[in-house]
Amino acid sequence: METSVNVQNIARETGIPVEEITDALWMPFSRETELQGKLKQISTPEELRELRECTRSGSEIENQIFIRWLELISTPKQARELYILTSPGSEIEKRVLLKWLELVSTPEEAIKLYNFLASGSEIKEWLLLKWSELVSTIEEAIELYKLTPSGSEIRKQLIRTIVFLMK
């Protein structure tokens, strides 16, 4: 393990990736094994972000980091931060979006997620439904009404909500 520490120090001092140093020196070193060990000890999204910076994009360890990170997310902001790091169309990206949707608890958070999503996203319909449940003022209901498709159940529900709020 001392060799591993020395290689890490050299990498840190020179800016050369550990893998390149070990390849050049023909040294046995498993960066993945080391990172997996660290992953088990991490308990915050911030630590996971730092660990992820040491991994190759698309690697198995990166995927494990994302899965662990997803378990620790507790706010829409944290979900957005993780979503930005995931690969478009990946399974983890879909899971993060669903977690983000689950964490939305105010109309403001719903608006942020709605504006962030690509048009035609499957999640938008679910978001509109959740958003309609969060509406508490006529202004919020009207704003959401403008975004819903004509004749949709969500739009009908919003009309009922607006009528109720006007009483």
Work out the mean pLDDT of the chain and round it to a whole number: 85
Mean pLDDT in residue range 71-78? 94
Q: Is 117 helix (H, G, I), strand (E, B) or coil?
A: coil
Please give the C-alpha separations between residue 120 and each of 49, 114, 115, 125, 140, in angstroms, as whole numbers.
30, 11, 12, 9, 22
Place 105 in a pLDDT band, splitting at 50, 70 and 90. very high
pLDDT at 52: 86
Total-model pTM: 0.71
For residue 65, the number of C-alpha atoms closer than 13 Å in the C-beta half-sphere is: 28
pLDDT at 124: 87
Task: Calculate the CA 21 to chain-centre distance.
Answer: 32
Sequence-distant (≥ 6) Cβ neighbours of residue 149 within 8 angstroms? 155
Give the dihedral of Cα atoms 55, 57, 59, 62; nearest 10 deg.
60
